[in-house]
Chain A
Amino acid sequence: MPNWKRRLRDGALTIAVMAAIFLLVLALQRFFVADKLIPMLFVLGVFIVSLQTEGYLWGVAASLIGVLLVNYAFMFPYYAFDLLSPVNLATAVVMLAVSVMTSTLTTQISVQQQEKAAAERERMRANLLRAISHDLRTPLTSISGACSVMLDNHDTLSEEKQLTLLGDMRRDADWLIRMVENLLSVTRIDDKKLLVSKVPTVLEELIDTVLVKFYKHYPQQQVEVSIPDDFVSIPMDAMLIEQVLINMLENAVVHAKGMTRLSLTVAVEQGKACFAICDDGCGIPAQRLNGLFTGYLDRDQEVSDGKRNGMGIGLFVCAAIIRAHGSEIHARNLPEGGAAFSFALDMEESDEQ
């Protein structure tokens, strides 16, 4: 939120709260003698303002307004200022103290929260780096090794052997490229605000782009697509959402053992575009369902079967991207077997930036 907008909001809030308290006191006075309650209510108002606004300014302003209002309207002499009586001065001091102390406290808490969030981001980043370095080492080793073998033995290796090595090298390099694309996606998210730049994107064009790229890597895997017939335009960072959908489709191909059907569905419901990717494979082991999107990064031990398992990073990236779009990603097992991944995006353009 820009600074002036925030100030405007805080100022309006201060005036609204104090006016509400004033009116409340006026109303109460119709029913009973509320003299003892009046300063307490105003202190409450000051407390609310200090709690809800930023910095000290508004809390102090509220306590001044409070002192003046109480002094003017509710203290003898009524409807006239008498600022120098000891009672009034004491009231003013108390209200000021409340506002300053509350503001100090709330400022401290918000600073602490920011520090905590920063530490959390830092931890995620460190984990991601560690996981990635681990995952990149294997294919890099095999590419470098294969190159050495071919350079050293180019005259003795059979052509067939050389072709096998080259084929392996290309497969490893392709895998590295996809992994690096994931990394690039993460850097596109502005991590300070955790926001992405959203552009209205035509759903049909998005799905087409995703499928073209997916079929390039997995030409043998059919995807059943179901999207609305109408013209649907969704504000999003298209490159990132494309990455999410490709990761989720790839994840199904790699992990859903025994899969015969893979579907990609988008439905528009209540101002949201709901994306779902379902398969009829082996499902997700129950112990992995929790922390599926971060669990990989917290796991320190090597992957047990020694096989590369880059999809952990892929899912982590998916979750980060969807979160940056102000939504959540969900994974569940289907009752009829298989797994479903889903997320929803707002159809309306929000002006939260």
Chain B
Amino acid sequence: MSNNKYRILAVEDDRSVSSLLHAMLDAQHYETLMAETCAQGLMMLSSHVPDLVILDLGLPDRDGLEFIRTARGKSAVPILVLSARATEKDKVTALDLGANDYITKPFSTAELLARIRAALRYSRPGTEQNKLPESRFQLHDLAIDYENRTVSVASQPVHLTQTEFNILAQLAQHAGKLLTYAAMNEAIWGAADPGGNKKLQVNMANLRRKLGIRPGDNRYIVNELGVGYRMQQGEE
């Protein structure tokens, strides 16, 4: 794999986990940098300009959330949080601060590598937010045409309302990224819904019905209960 010469910075103080990450990333031919503290991580972020950061939250000098806050002030590098903190609140806090994804320990290596690939693809030049987005999205038999605002499943057109299309497009344009309810509400309606997430959830339910998604057989949109939604990675 030639395009794997991405530079990845892992900020992790636990020795076993960091040696596991090192071995795992080396085996995938990523260029791997390791930092053990928040301060060291921030320094390496400025000096080495990595393509992706894997971040543990429980660091010895400062909380990893501080890292996200500081890093977001100067860099749009994708940050993938790898933490033992598993409550919905922890996830939402980190994501709303600007983390791209959140994986809880214990993690499966296959899952982590898939999320790394997704985050790298998301940040690659050409799909950055300031560039023009691609005009089409394809995932399995789901196809979205952003310009004509049409959606089809297995070549059959699916008729969506404005809101449903906006939700689907929002998810697809950030495919691979976990979007929190708050971020979705903001993007669709321009503000947090005072009535909670009900409006979003009802629209999602209708969207799932129209796309023919059955529980347990959900090939397009992953539910992160209490946190948000993630569109699976599309195909090139």
Within 8 A of B (CB), among A189-209: 199-202, 204-209
Is B223 an interface residue, CB under 8 A from the partner? Answer: yes
Within 8 A of A (CB), among B6-45: none
* Contact residues in A for B196 (Cβ distance below 8 Å): 200
* Contact residues in B for A24 (Cβ distance below 8 Å): none
Is B125 an interface residue, CB under 8 A from the partner? Answer: no
Bitwise interface map of A from 122 to 164 toward B, beta carbon under 8 Å scored 1, else 0: 0000000000000000000000000000000000000000000
Q: How far is the CB of B19 from chain A (nearest CB, A)?
A: 14
Assess A177 versus B198: contact at CB under 8 Å? Given A211-B215, A223-B216, A227-B215.
no
A207 to B217, alpha carbons, bound, how many Å?
11
B223 touches A231 (CB 8 A): no
Is B205 an interface residue, CB under 8 A from the partner? Answer: yes
Assess A206 versus B225: contact at CB under 8 Å? Given A184-B86, A231-B202, A233-B201.
yes
Which of B196, B197, B202, B215 is most buried by chain A, counting CB atoms within 10 A of its CB?
B215
A243 to B222, alpha carbons, bound, how many Å?
18
Is A242 an interface residue, CB under 8 A from the partner? Answer: yes
Assess A238 versus B215: contact at CB under 8 Å? Given A202-B205, A204-B208, A231-B205.
no
Within 8 A of B (CB), among A168-195: 177, 180, 184, 188
User: In the complex, which of the residues B106, B198, B215 contacts A207, with contact meaning CB atoms closer than 8 Å?
Assistant: B215
A211 touches B216 (CB 8 A): yes
A121 to B113, alpha carbons, bound, how many Å?
42
Is B133 an interface residue, CB under 8 A from the partner? Answer: no
B225 touches A238 (CB 8 A): yes
Residue of A nearest to B206 (CB): A231
Assess A205 versus B225: contact at CB under 8 Å? Given A177-B106, A200-B198.
yes
A102 to B198, alpha carbons, bound, how many Å?
50
A205 to B201, alpha carbons, bound, how many Å?
9
* Contact residues in A for B87 (Cβ distance below 8 Å): 188, 239
Within 8 A of A (CB), among B88-132: 88, 106
B201 touches A209 (CB 8 A): no
Residue of A nearest to B105 (CB): A177
User: In the complex, which of the residues B106, B197, B198, B215 contacts A208, with contact meaning CB atoms closer than 8 Å?
Assistant: B215
B215 touches A225 (CB 8 A): yes
A208 touches B216 (CB 8 A): yes
Is B75 an interface residue, CB under 8 A from the partner? Answer: no
Q: How far is the CB of B16 from chain A (nearest CB, A)?
A: 12
Interface residues on A, range: 20 to 34
B215 touches A202 (CB 8 A): no
B86 touches A209 (CB 8 A): no
Q: Using a Cβ–Cβ cut-off of 8 Å, how many residues does chain B contribute to the interface with A? A: 21
Q: How far is the CB of A164 from chain B (nearest CB, A)?
A: 20
Is A79 an interface residue, CB under 8 A from the partner? Answer: no
B223 touches A239 (CB 8 A): no
Is B218 an interface residue, CB under 8 A from the partner? Answer: yes
* Contact residues in A for B215 (Cβ distance below 8 Å): 204, 207-208, 211, 225, 227
Q: How far is the CB of B161 from chain A (nearest CB, A)?
A: 15
Assess A202 versus B106: contact at CB under 8 Å? Given A225-B215, A227-B215, A239-B88.
no
Bitwise interface map of A from 204 to 225 toward B, beta carbon under 8 Å scored 1, else 0: 1111111110110000000101
Q: How far is the CB of B207 from chain A (nearest CB, A)?
A: 11
* Contact residues in B for A206 (Cβ distance below 8 Å): 225
A225 touches B226 (CB 8 A): no
A86 to B215, alpha carbons, bound, how many Å?
79
* Contact residues in A for B218 (Cβ distance below 8 Å): 208, 212
A221 to B225, alpha carbons, bound, how many Å?
23
Q: How far is the CB of A118 from chain B (nearest CB, A)?
A: 26
Assess A233 versus B198: contact at CB under 8 Å? Given A207-B215, A212-B218.
yes
23 pairs, CB–CB < 8 Å, chain A vs chain B: A180-B106, A200-B196, A202-B204, A204-B205, A205-B201, A205-B204, A207-B215, A207-B216, A208-B215, A208-B216, A208-B218, A209-B225, A211-B215, A212-B218, A214-B216, A215-B216, A231-B201, A233-B198, A238-B225, A239-B87, A239-B88, A239-B225, A242-B225
Q: Known contacts A204-B205, A214-B216, A238-B88; can you find 15 more A-B pairs with CB under 8 A?
A: A199-B88, A200-B197, A204-B208, A204-B215, A205-B204, A207-B216, A208-B216, A209-B223, A210-B216, A212-B216, A215-B216, A225-B214, A227-B215, A239-B86, A239-B226
